[in-house]
Amino acid sequence: MARIAQKLAEGRTTSFEFFPPKTVAGRRSFERTVGELEALEPNFASVTYGAGGSDRHRTGEVVRWMRQETGIDPMAHMTCIGHSRDDVAGLLVEYRRLGVENILALGGDPPADGSAPCGDYAYALDLLRDVAAPGCFSIGVAAHPQVHPRSPNRASDRRHLATKLRLADFAITQFFFEVEHWTRLVDELAEHGVDKPVIPGIMPIVSAKQVRRMAEMSGAELPGWLCDALDAAADDDEVRRIGVDVASELAAGLLDAGAPGLHLYTLNRADVTKQVCANLRPAAA
């Protein structure tokens, strides 16, 4: 059984996000990491798509490898940015041929070099419609608990998310650090009559500089207590210990609050991901 919608209907899921490696050496270490994490028996793993569609071939190649060489069910990320409807139709045919049944339909982040990519899709909803049309994919969308940075206000953010979720099977959230962000998001969707599963995305922090940069880009504000803890950390090892503790506590709190699953942003690292899962095992059982 490979469809995420079906897995969610049967119980809580645990899943991991990976990004495609860019080099041959990176690929070898990536395959080792996936091998280590496969032992944790995730329900699925998602593979990101680079800014401006730059990872198109790498994403497809990793998803193919995962499908054929591992026991993990993959979900391919697809973005609007830089893609024509023909590109997307071609990719969907290829994914069907490979037996990939899960797609995360996203707006996409513009390339870091500031170039303005063109494409046939304005919003993730437009892409979602094309992915849903053949009726053979289980489809997820992105949710932003602390509101997407381009949303003019919270109400508009929730309205557009509710529209996407009426068509999609589930959402996965941007990372955040306090349980209340997830419960509030779920309550707000319920006010729109939407009760599809919203899987919280959890990122164990491995670098204070990196999490600050990612938070700024994604609109995920870091709470004061977390900034203080990171500022007081003596070295990188302590940052990672804080990252694992915070992610483990957050995950346990989300399970208590009724989250339908946990999606861990692995940053292609097995160590911290395994530690968080080990801390959770008694709580998740």
The binding site for ligand FAD (CB under 6 A) comprises: 48-49, 51, 77, 79, 104, 106-109, 123-125, 142, 148, 150-151, 156-157, 160, 164, 172-174, 201, 218
Q: Are the CB atoms for 164 and 124 separated by under 8 Å?
A: yes
Q: Which one, 176 or 226, has the nearer CB to ligand FAD?
A: 176
Count the alpha carbons within 13 Å of 260 in the hemisphere toward its beta carbon: 18
Q: Which one, 121 or 229, has the nearer CB to ligand FAD?
A: 121
H/E run at residue 204: none
Q: Which one, 3 or 229, has the nearer CB to ligand FAD?
A: 3
**What is the rounded distance in angstroms from the CA atom of residue 58 to the CA atom of residue 222?**
31
- The amino acid present at 153, given as its one-letter code, is N
Q: Which one, 59 or 275, has the nearer CB to ligand FAD?
A: 59
Q: Which one, 151 or 279, has the nearer CB to ligand FAD?
A: 151
**Long-range own/partner contacts, residues 218-225 (CB < 8 A, 24 or more apart):** 218/144, 218/149, 218/174, 218/175, 219/144, 219/146, 219/147, 219/148, 219/149, 219/174, 220/144, 220/145, 220/146, 220/174, 220/175, 220/176, 220/177, 221/146, 222/177, 223/177, 223/178
- Phi/psi zone of residue 147: left (φ > 0), alpha (ψ -120 to 50 degrees), beta? left
**What is the rounded distance in angstroms from the CA atom of residue 77 to the CA atom of residue 60?**
9
User: Closest distance between ligand FAD and the C-beta of residue 133, in Å?
Assistant: 18
User: Closest distance between ligand FAD and the C-beta of residue 164, in Å?
Assistant: 6
**What is the rounded distance in angstroms from the CA atom of residue 199 to the CA atom of residue 213?**
23
User: Closest distance between ligand FAD and the C-beta of residue 135, in Å?
Assistant: 21
User: Closest distance between ligand FAD and the C-beta of residue 205, in Å?
Assistant: 17
**What is the rounded distance in angstroms from the CA atom of residue 280 to the CA atom of residue 285?**
8
**What residues form DSSP beta bridges with 14?**
262
User: Closest distance between ligand FAD and the C-beta of residue 138, in Å?
Assistant: 15
Check 17, 36, 38, 178 and give the catalytic one: 17
Helix (H, G, I), strand (E, B) or coil at 55: coil
Tell me if residue 17 is catalytic.
Answer: yes
Q: Which one, 179 or 265, has the nearer CB to ligand FAD?
A: 265
- Phi/psi zone of residue 77: left (φ > 0), alpha (ψ -120 to 50 degrees), beta? beta
User: Closest distance between ligand FAD and the C-beta of residue 272, in Å?
Assistant: 18
Would you please indicate which residues are annotated as catalytic (active-site) residues? 17
